[in-house]
Amino acid sequence: MRVLILFITLITFALGGCVSSASLDPISTENGEIIQDQKIVSQIQSSSTSTKIGEIDYSIESYAWRDFMPIVNPPVRLILKNKLIRSDGDPIESSIEVMQHYVVKGSDIWRPVDVETRQDQNRPGQIEILSRDGPTWETGSKVLVGLKIKNLQTDTIHWLSATEVEIIRTE
């Protein structure tokens, strides 16, 4: 009987170790999901850093970082901020809608669900698109960022991309 109890105890600890190590998966995310979709990757790769909507040029700037300021609950997750910039500095029309942004690393694509979009009050020709709680990809690595926007007046989709965006470490 003691041997059976010892055996069950050992199995319980072994299985418990397996569960906790799975939670440290380096591509896990709390916001959105990690997908593999070659069509999306190809679309982003073939996109430019700027596009023309009507007579106006729009461009993208992307920043990716993980903030290692002392915190209580690691792991520190990826934060992505895109800026959609109107070239003439005039306010971005309400007919321009940000549909989705993506971050590609290798064959993995982070597609965040919770996306905060806000007008920069000091720069009316810019919209900031922010997502938090992404994957725990290593700092120093480079990612490809894609931004999908829609012109509601013409019902057309436009893609923008930023290549070689380095995930930086902040503290």
- Domains of the chain with CATH codes: 25-170 (2.60.40)
DSSP annotation of 46: T
Say whether pTM exceeds 0.85: no
Compute the distance between CA of residue 24 and CA of residue 34 in angstroms, rounded to an integer: 15
Compute the distance between CA of residue 108 and CA of residue 58 in angstroms, rounded to an integer: 27
Residue 80, both tokens: 């992505």
User: Of residues 13 and 20, which shows the higher confidence score?
Assistant: 13
Compute the distance between CA of residue 98 and CA of residue 42 in angstroms, rounded to an integer: 19
For 110-126, what is the mean pLDDT? Answer: 92
Residue 125, both tokens: 């020709």
Q: Strand 156-170 vs strand 56-67: parallel, antiparallel, or unpaired?
A: parallel
Q: Quick one: pLDDT at residue 27?
A: 59
Q: Quick one: pLDDT at residue 76?
A: 87
- Percent above pLDDT 90 for the chain: 72
Residue 72, both tokens: 């209580």
Q: What is the pLDDT of residues 57-95, one digit of tens each?
A: 999 999 999 988 876 666 689 999 999 999 999 999 999
Query: Is 117 in contact with 97 (CB distance < 8 Å)?
Result: no
The helix (run of H) or strand (run of E) holding residue 102 is strand 96-105
Compute the distance between CA of residue 7 and CA of residue 19 in angstroms, rounded to an integer: 19
Q: What is the pLDDT of residues 128-145, one digit of tens each?
A: 999 999 999 999 999 999
Q: Quick one: pLDDT at residue 68?
A: 87
Residue 62's closest CA among 170, 171, 160? 160
Chain centroid to CA 88? 27
Q: 34-54 burial by CB neighbour count: b if 16+ within 10 A, else e?
A: beeeeebbebbeebeeebebe
- Say what the alpha-carbon torsion angle 34, 39, 41, 44 is, to the nearest 10 degrees: -120
